[in-house]
Every structure is written in C-alpha cells, then in structure tokens.
Amino acid sequence: MTGTGKTQVLGQLDNALDLEGHANHRGSSFGRRATGQPSNIDFENRLAVDLLKKRERGVQSFVLEDENRMIGSCALPLPLYQSMQGLPMVWLEDSLANRVQRILDDYVVNLCAEFVAVHGEQGFALFAERLLESLNKIHKRLGGERHQRLFLLMEAALAEQARSGDVERHRAWIEGLLGEYYDPMYAFQRESKGARIEFSGEHGAVLNYLRQRQPPSR
C-alpha cells in the first residue's frame, strides 16, 4: 500500500535489495526525485554490485519490494522481474493517518527540500510544477471530475505553502488520492495476489516476521 513505509522497513533489514534506491525513483507516478535517474546499465550495475556484496557477507535470501518492471525510466532485469512474480509476499499495513503523514513528509516536505537544495531559488517553483505534473499523469485513470477536484486542492496547498511555508493543506489531496485512487487499486492487487501473501501486518510485526524467516548468514 502507498505510504506504509516499505522503504523504511527495507532499510532495517540486512538482506534487503532497495530497487527504488538504486533507481533513484519512488516507483509511482509521483516517484521522480529532484535529481535524475541513472542509465539502465548503471542501474543494473548498482543492483548487481549490491547483490554480490551481500552474497559475500553470506546473505542467502533477499527481501525486495514488489515493483512493476519499470521504476521510472529504469527497467528491472527481465529474469529478476519474472522470478519475482512467483515469490511469496508480505503485505505491509498502516493506519490512514500514518500514511498521510508519511506521504506529506516524503513527497512534499522532503521533496521540496531536495528541489531547493539542487535548484536554489527556482527550487520551489520546479517542485510545484513536478507535483502538478505527477497528478496530471494519472488524469485518465482518475477521471475528469476527480482529477479537477484534486488538482484544485493541490494548487491551493502549493499556494499556501509558497505564501506561508505551511504544508497542512496538502493533507486534503493526499487523503483524496489514497481513498479514491491508490487504495482501491491496491485492494484489487491484494485480491489478485492473495494466494502469494503469507503474512500481513504493521511495521513491527512485519520486521519480526522477515527477520525470523531470514536464514542465518554463512
């Protein structure tokens, strides 16, 4: 589910492969960062080096996020992607309030700071343009009325952020996007992949389960 903190969970596991980290992209329509993505060959090389280093440390099995083959402009190696389609899954859950806060932090506060750090005085304008552009990418899937409503909420939130620095108005479009778009999509995915899901829970329970499942390093 979007906003559950999958990247944070992976960061606490010694046997995790951070596909989005290597691709420098968060994996969704809103996933582009202030800095560009690596070329596909560089992405594959980073992934291979990470894998080999972990193998050298004795890691025998790996945890990774269930991704589409394309992470932004980076394509997962086809054999890896194909093998992922049959692997057992763990479903990470969290409350709506926590998810909204995490998305606000990651996709508004932190992303804006990235743009300002990279682009200086033009940073906020470029950040705002990127956020609106990301929403426009899913215009057809949202439908005209819903897209227009969320677009106006996002514009108002950006205007308030530019005026006062307050980011609280962003919560409205984040909640709307989760409830009306992402959560129904993930509910369908959960149903279609249900046979592969061997555990579900919130952060602490998922971390404990994955650590218990990890074979000892050789």
DSSP string over 93-135: ---HHHHHHHHIIIIIIIHHHHHHHHHGGGHHHHHHHHHHHHH
How many residues are given for the chain? 218
pLDDT tens, residue by residue, 50-74:
999 999 999 989 999 999 999 999 9
> Which tokens go with 38?
């690596």
- Rounded to whole angstroms, the Cα distance separating 124 from 62 reads 38
Using left for φ > 0, alpha for ψ between -120 and 50, and beta otherwise, residue 95 falls in beta
Higher pLDDT, residue 169 or 67: 169
- Rounded to whole angstroms, the Cα distance separating 150 from 135 reads 8
pLDDT value of residue 130: 97
> Which tokens go with 174?
């984040």
Region 40-44 average pLDDT: 98
Residue 56 near residue 9, CB atoms below 8 Å = no
Residue 74 near residue 31, CB atoms below 8 Å = no
Pick from 77, 89, 33: which is nearest to 209 by CA? 89
Residue 50 near residue 17, CB atoms below 8 Å = yes
pLDDT band at 186 (very low <50, low <70, confident <90, very high): confident
pLDDT tens, residue by residue, 107-161:
999 999 999 999 999 999 999 999 999 999 999 999 999 999 999 999 999 999 9
Residue 25 near residue 33, CB atoms below 8 Å = yes
Pick from 52, 53, 44: which is nearest to 19 by CA? 44
pLDDT value of residue 1: 67
Residue 215 near residue 61, CB atoms below 8 Å = yes
pLDDT band at 216 (very low <50, low <70, confident <90, very high): low
Residue 23 near residue 71, CB atoms below 8 Å = yes
> Which tokens go with 159?
């205007």
pLDDT value of residue 2: 85
pLDDT value of residue 60: 87
> Which tokens go with 68?
């589409």
* Residue given tokens 């932004």 in the structure block: 72
